[in-house]
A and B are shown apart, each in its own frame.
With several copies, the nearest count.
Chain A
Amino acid sequence: MKLSFERSVPGRRGCRAPQSAAPHAAIEESLLRKLPPRLPELSETDVSRHFSELERQVYGVNDGFYPLGSCTMKYNPAVNEQAASLEGFSGIHPLQPVESAQGAIEALVRAKELLCQLVGMDEMTFQPAAGAHGEFLGLLLIKRYHEERGDCARKKIIVPDSAHGTNPATASMAGFTVINIPSAQDGTVDLAALRAAVGPDTAGLMLTNPNTLGIFDKNILEITDIVHGAGGLCYYDGANMNAVMGAARPGDMGFDAVHLNLHKTFSTPHGGGGPGAGAVGCKECLTPYLPNRLPVRLADGTFGYADSEHSVGRMKFFCGNFLVVLRALTYITMLGGDGLQEASENAVLNANYLRALLKSELPAANEGFCMHEFVVSLESLKKETGVSAMDVAKSFIDAGMHPPTMYFPLIVHEALMFEPTETEGKETLDAAAEAVRNILARAKTEPEALHLAPVTTPIGRPDEVGAARNPILRYDFTEADQ
């Protein structure tokens, strides 16, 4: 379809600004922009149609099953959006006086109290804008903790090889050396490897539990003990919290800090890639290092902010992605403790059900039960038929569903990772299993066809290699002029 620039008509105009009644003020010529930006020149009709057409080329959770593993693509209640669009929230300035923003600060405090209780932490900040941002803050807390204790040799962060890419990337950003440890055969942390890795240079461990294979590491207390025993701290990547609300608290597992992806577990929509929010909770030992402007309940019953001179500093502007937190609070308020627990239970139920349906066809990457997601390996299918995980995933599109996550975690070959979430009904899971069965049957009879999937979409598979080799990152206006 056309780009907005290709719909543009020279001289056509869009929305008008109010004319200022103020006198035209002079501007020094040298300050003035010379080349006007070539923005699209569209009428409102054009804008409406352009974005309607674009939306029709997007598959959202509202279009069907979206089992994108590790991303918790649950259905997000419409009421979240209504709450976030209340003018009392969307129309207030971040720097307006605290007395005039009591409701906003109270919302932050309430959200923090509820979430701290849920994950077993003592304090929480909402400044980080996403999970990775939260991880970064978490590691800075750990860094500052060791520093303040004069424990300056602790420069290493241990990360299992099953970890999400943000974990090692974050550790690097925080100035640590990353120690990757291999997983045990069953996908859990290899305790021996962990014991071997820890030492006086250990700053901490980053772990997600359930991990990216969807396994709850039953040795979790031992793991955190080993790290603590060596003087390190434990950081919990909470991206998979949707499995264990009401079933296990990171705080009780022995973690010292945690981030929660509010846009995953707490049902704020994903927006095509964001915005999210990466709430960071911690135990008392780390509290002093949290960013300033910490929302607090004051002695007189009002709400305000607290600063600490030990803070690692600010993570971004203002109080984080406020409206995302507000959506999460709406969700938590509606579900309540009981509802959150049920949500996790159903997420786990759904994942195990789908896994059971697929078991005979697709070898799961591990034994036993899974938590809210599971990984299958198509390695043998690939060997037998030449059909790859990618081919199967793309064929899923032709069946009217969003593919599972492909090729993650990296430790499983030809991996597909399914996370159905609790908001899907049995019939959707049945249909998904049926679709996989059909695809696998076709893989045997007509493997070439699957290499071409999807065929029901406006475009086929794009040339991604070409895109990276010869990057075209913006519209080329000279093209149009020819």
Chain B
Amino acid sequence: MGNFLPSTDAQCKEMLNVIGVSSVGELYADIPRAMREKAAEAVNELPKGVSEFEALDAMRALAKKNRVFDAIFRGAGAYWHHIPAVVSRVAAKEAFVTAYTPYQPEISQGILQTIFEYQTILCELTGMDAGNASVYDGATAAAEAAAMCRERNRTLTLLAGGLNPESIETVRTYSFGADAEYAIVPNKEGRLDLDALKTALNTGVASLILQSPNYFGVVEDIPAIAELVHAAGAKLVVSMNPTAMVLLRSPGECGADVAIGDGQPLGIPLSYGGPYLGFMACKKEMIRKLPGRIVGQTADAAGRRCFVLTLQAREQHIRREKASSNICSNQALCALTAAAYCSAMGPQGMGEVARACYDNAHYLAAKLGKIKGFELAYPGAPFFHEFVTGTPADLTERALKALGEKNILGGLPVEGGILWCATERNTSAQIDALVETVKAVIA
């Protein structure tokens, strides 16, 4: 069924003839008969094929069962940004979409060069020396970073309390695999507790994974933390939202050894959580510890500049059980999308986006903060485009419900309140509507 089997019956017959069998069944002779019959029965019980139109209609019906909010004030790892139309068009170009990993550089320069450009952009944003071609997402980037920082005698990974809880869970899962230890350094007033950090740092610590702005929106004092971590001989991994990097000091400027994060804000739609883009960049010294695909510049025999997958000696297809990571397929098209986004926006456009996020979030915080029950949880702490109001649970529920009725997705309920987010898409009209709605709930 479907229009994806080009061979006609006549052609199939010819082909079988050339092979020297009379039916496809003969080709399956190695499969035990009972096993084949069972499999055939099983597919028989699946729904039959339908036309493209019917399949699409079924998907449309599912899509309609989801609510597309008119305004989204929720972040927590997934951000509602405008995606320039040219970016979507670039990312939909058929050859980009249908090619695979550029194993054959002669017919893949377009993809290789894009990744090289992406790596460069990533270095510029993070202030690092080298980046890889992507890992699955921000959470696995954290787990991979933990792994790349471990050394023979330093195996403990410290996780900042402000790290996205899903990242923490992911590092925990990977650590279970690696039989490695991890410990959480708690927060104090929304930021990493430096005293607790000092206590936690010992000679067994491989790295600290810090998020800034952290999960609660607060900008951490990365330089101070870097000093402590480095003094203890450990590595500092900083996870940062790429939009924030345009405005705030980059991980590199702040002394991080590895910068990681999720590139979703760079032109990738919300998509109910995926596919997104895990990015990783590091200082020169750590390049050969980076996992994943890496593209490098070289030349052909005629001296023409070109690009190839490089440093493959780190990878699974060469090193097998000794590889630095098992990653193979990654998020290449998302990396291409991010490169296109940064190219289409340019430094000015991205600066404007960052600034609008900052201003809108602060406007929202100022307005919300004045409402009883919506006071800022960490007043005075610097934040970028997310912040927490210390809202009690019952009020949280009522406020979010009231907003939902206006087709506004409010902030995320977290421990101790609501985690709000505003981006350049949240117009002040939307913010005002939100604030009015919340006020009405209180009244």
Contact = CB atoms under 8 A, between A and B. Distances in A.
Note whether A and B contact each other (Cβ less than 8 A): yes
Given A24-B359, A140-B176, A458 B349 contact: no
B5 A343 contact: yes
A252 B296 CA distance: 45
A52 B36 CA distance: 39
A54 to B, nearest CB: 4
A438 interface: no
A59 B99 contact: yes
B194 interface: no
Interface stretch (A225-233, A334-342, A378-386, A440-448): A334-342
B311 to A, nearest CB: 6
Interface string A4-37: 1100011111111111111111011001111111
A15 B349 contact: yes
Which of B2, B116, B219, B333 has its CB near the most chain A CB atoms (within 10 A)? Answer: B2
B109 A248 contact: no
Contacts of B342: 39-40
A270 B66 contact: no
A33 to B, nearest CB: 5
Contacts of A94: 77-78, 270, 272-274
A221 B351 CA distance: 48
Interface in B316-350: 316-323, 325-334, 336, 339-340, 342-350
A18 B5 contact: no
Contacts of B54: 18, 334
A151 interface: no
A37 B140 contact: no
Interface in B38-53: 38-40, 42-53
Interface stretch (B123-131, B185-193, B203-211, B388-396): B123-131
Given A31-B382, A273-B102, A426-B7, A135 B317 contact: no
B415 interface: no
A337 B40 CA distance: 9
Interface residues of B, number: 214
A93 B296 contact: no
A465 to B, nearest CB: 9
A17 to B, nearest CB: 4
Contact of B247 (A27, A47, A339, A343): A27
A193 to B, nearest CB: 18
Given A45-B4, A463-B299, A5 B120 contact: yes
B362 to A, nearest CB: 4
A38 interface: yes
B407 to A, nearest CB: 10
Nearest to B101: A273
A451 to B, nearest CB: 10
Contacts of A24: 359
B338 to A, nearest CB: 11
Given A12-B6, A93-B80, A463 B300 contact: yes
Contacts of A63: 95
Interface residues of A, number: 210
Interface string B410-440: 0010000000000011011001000000000
Given A20-B360, A42-B343, A244-B39, 4 more contacts: A45-B6, A77-B85, A172-B322, A271-B333
Interface string B298-317: 11111010111011110111
A269 B98 contact: yes
Interface string A42-78: 1111111011111111111111001010010111111
B170 A274 contact: no
B22 to A, nearest CB: 12
A112 to B, nearest CB: 13
A429 B89 CA distance: 26
A281 interface: no
Contact of A320 (B177, B245, B273): B273
Contact of B409 (A96, A271, A324): A96
A272 B246 contact: no
B272 A100 contact: no
Contacts of A334: 1-2, 49-52, 54-55
Nearest to A401: B107
A203 B30 CA distance: 28
B293 interface: yes
A133 B348 CA distance: 37
A253 to B, nearest CB: 7
A315 interface: yes
B145 to A, nearest CB: 14
Contact of B46 (A117, A261, A271): A117
A462 B310 CA distance: 11
Interface in A155-178: 164-166, 168-175, 178
